[in-house]
Amino acid sequence: MNSFKELLTIPRLKPIARREALQGLAFISIWFIGFFIFTLIPMLATLAFSFSNINLAQEEALRFVGFGNYQKMLSDSSLRNALGVTLKYALIALPVGLAVPFAVAVLLNNKHLRAKGFFRVMFYLPYVIPFVAGIFAWGGLLNPEQGWINQTLEALGVQNPPGWLNDPLWVYPSLVILGLWGIGSAVIIYLASLQGVPTELYDAAKVDGAGWWATMRNVTLPMMSPVIFYSLVLGIVGVFQYFLVPLVVTDGTGRPGGATMFFNLYMYKTFFTFQNMSYGAAQAWVLFILILVVTIFLFWSSKYWVYYAGETREG
């Protein structure tokens, strides 16, 4: 009985503990206030907008339209094309964005490599350069007429070098190449994970006679699966929100032939070019739900392929 009463009794904090708790809450409250003002309120506002008819380009009385904006999206061919562009780019960018930094990290982790510090700095250095400046630099390099890349290819005897950003066939590889400019942070994360793999596992694999690929498949990849999962989630979110590069490279026009009119760019133009706030808000919420569904699926699937050290699995 006494134990039950003790459980129901809420101990009062001592003055010092109370003061420390209040100080902690004060520090945390800054984040909560920022989240409330800059995230939660705008999200609720866009949700309300999506059920109304706010269009600054047209003079019309404000009214509730229900799911009208969402129904409009079903018949919007331009929006479907923008979603298709985003998905096509994702099929190329995601595998490359995961594999290339991983491969670079494996090379930098090689014990026979000399000047490791130099190469790590060289791979990370582009990441600290302002991204917009890097976009302009690559835009110049990929210029089909005056860019250094095509001039070099012509000097090597290539008759018809690619049109890069001006060619619908080459625009996605061009954007992927441009994105590899900033792989420095991913390389560092992979490298840290590689160095965290217990050497005992490699020694055991060597004793069992495992080769390079068997060791990679049975030791390295399982131990790095949490980091790969983390990079995959961030990569998918980044692909669906891909916006800055096509905006800067094409001035938001979607050229060539709408091949760079990504979903996020189309939503931006709906908001600020066509000034249809309600329709743009509906697009934003559809994008949010789409990312949420994909992310939930990834977390659900992670139990089948992501391994955390110390866990045990049945079967």
pLDDT tens for residues 60-101?
Answer: 888 999 999 999 999 999 999 999 999 999 999 999 999 999
Tens-digit pLDDT profile for residues 152-206:
999 999 888 999 999 999 999 999 999 898 899 999 999 999 999 998 999 999 9
Average pLDDT, the chain: 89
Among the listed residues 149, 151, 125, 154, the one whose alpha carbon sits nearest the alpha carbon of residue 138: 149
Give this prediction's pTM: 0.85
Task: Write the pLDDT tens digit of every residue in 284-297.
Answer: 999 999 999 999 99
Q: What is the pLDDT of residue 311?
A: 65
Domain boundaries, the chain: 2-50, 73-305
73-305 CATH, one of 2.130.10.10, 3.30.70.260, 3.30.950.10, 1.10.3720.10: 1.10.3720.10
Q: How many CA atoms lie within 13 A of 170 on its CB side?
A: 12
CA gap 130, 244 in Å, rounded: 12
pLDDT of residue 23: 81
Q: How far apart are CA 143 and CA 166, in angstroms?
A: 8
Scanning the chain, the segments in alpha helix (DSSP H) are 2-8, 15-35, 41-50, 68-74, 77-108, 116-128, 131-141, 148-155, 171-179, 184-195, 199-207, 212-215, 221-240, 244-250, 263-272, 277-305
**Percent of residues, the chain, with pLDDT higher than 70:** 94
Amino acid at 51: F
Q: State yes or no: pLDDT of 27 exceeds 50.
A: yes
